[in-house]
Amino acid sequence: MSKLCRSNVNKKFDKNADCLTLSLRLFNCCLFIAHSMAASFPIQTVAERTGLTPHVIRAWERRYRAIEPERSAGKHRLYSEAEIERIGMLQRAVRSGHSIGKIAKLPTEELRALIAQQPAVSRTAAVHGADDPAAIFRDESLLAIARFDGPGLQEVLGRSLLKFGHMGLLRLVIAPLAEEVGERWRSGALTPAHEHFFTASVKVFLGDLTRQFAISASAPCIIVTTPAGQLHELGAIMAAATAANLGWRPIYLGPNLPAHEIAGAALRNEAAAIALSIVYPADDPNLASQLTELARLIPAGTRILAGGRAARGYFEALIRIGALCADSIEEFGSQLDSLRRAPARKAHA
């Protein structure tokens, strides 16, 4: 073979070798990308990167089918980069006011578009529109809560009070806001610290407001608290503020008190009524017996009123002791007005 032919063959071979090398490099690159996208991150890593708790991540998976992570040989959840990105987008959407139940199954591209279009829209504003002043106040309050902005939240509540008055503030702003904060806490959009911050801020605001009322020493007394095992006190705080506004003399005992302590306070203060806030849990096996014990220890003429999101879970026990059940602040206020006008009872129903 001539030198020219051998040269051409060698050049062609070198060119083919270069192509093969390039192909191998591209193949290895694809393998690397595929490996990086593979499900290889444990749930704790996902929690650290998204700010959600492992409990919330698992709940979004089991309850809403928002993601379907792979499992390791040891049955541990493993998440890909794409799944971590999706969880982060879900979190941002929930923080903007969207319900996790409604967005959990959205395709990733639709979810990304949703976040881009509504980065800070709350559920209240989305439902009621910008022409609803109460929705706007609630929206501003949620932003202050998310930032732990105490002065900002107090300022919004103050403007709400001027706009709606005492009962309007409770009914239109604080009560629905409490439901919203609770829902966001359960979904993971807000932390327990946010919920405690909100409760403490409202407690201070309503406490300052209630002290402005000129309550007569002869006004009927009402004991306000939550039963043993009920740690959420915001409903009780609102009940005490409502009672004060309606001319009662509320004695607020704080949350989580056993029956004998509640009864003792009622006896020492000759209370005409006891208001119980029952929010969570709705299935405490000990609460029914606590309610029965309370009814046994107090005078026959002392009425028990109960309300809160979980109160209906104990409806039979409450009916047995003759308690009045309120589904809203308005209904609770109506019951207090009726009790002031009604003659004292001689026995429990």
Give the CATH number for residue 315: 3.40.50.280
Least confident stretch, 47-56, 67-76, 117-126, 265-274: 117-126
Q: Are residues 230 and 337 located together in one domain of the fold?
A: yes
- pLDDT at residue 231 greater than cutoff 90: yes
Q: Peptide bond before 281: cis, by omega within 30 degrees of 0?
A: yes
Q: Are residues 238 and 295 located together in one domain of the fold?
A: yes
- pLDDT at residue 118 greater than cutoff 70: no
Residue where one domain finishes, among candidates 89, 117, 145: 117
DSSP assignment of 64-106, as one string?
Answer: H-----EE-TTS-EEB-HHHHHHHHHHHHHHHTT--HHHHTTS
Structural domain includes residue 276: yes
Sign of the alpha-carbon torsion through 166, 158, 207, 135: positive
pLDDT, mean of residues 270-283: 94
Structural domain includes residue 135: yes
In degrees and rounded to multiples of 5, residue 221 shows phi and psi of -95, 140
pLDDT of residue 279: 92
Helix or strand run (H / E) with residue 326: strand 324-326
Q: Which two tokens stand for residue 284?
A: 């405490």
Q: CATH number for the domain including 48?
A: 1.10.1660.10
CA within 13 Å, CB half, 21: 6
DSSP letter at 313?
G
Using pLDDT thresholds of 50, 70 and 90, give the confidence band for residue 100. confident
Give me the chain's average pLDDT, please: 83
Residue where one domain finishes, among candidates 96, 117, 138: 117
Structural domain includes residue 113: yes
Structural domain includes residue 25: no
Which is more confidently placed, 76 or 297? 297
Structural domain includes residue 28: no
Give the other-Cβ count within 10 Å of 24's Cβ.
10
Q: How far is CA 200 from CA 193, 210, 318, in A?
A: 10, 15, 29
Tally of domains within the chain: 3
Q: Are residues 178 and 223 located together in one domain of the fold?
A: no
Q: Are residues 247 and 337 located together in one domain of the fold?
A: yes
In percent, how much of the chain has pLDDT > 70?
82
Structural domain includes residue 138: yes
Structural domain includes residue 240: yes
Q: Are residues 249 and 308 located together in one domain of the fold?
A: yes
DSSP letter at 269?
T
Which is more confidently placed, 54 or 13? 54
Q: Which residues of 186-222 are buried (b: 16+ CB within 10 A; e: fewer)?
A: ebbbbeeebbebbbebbbebbeebbeebeeeeebbbb
pLDDT, mean of residues 56-82: 87
Q: Are residues 202 and 223 located together in one domain of the fold?
A: no
Which of 37-51, 60-74, 81-95, 153-167 is most confident? Answer: 153-167
- pLDDT at residue 154 greater than cutoff 70: yes
Its domain, for residue 77, covers: 43-117
Structural domain includes residue 261: yes
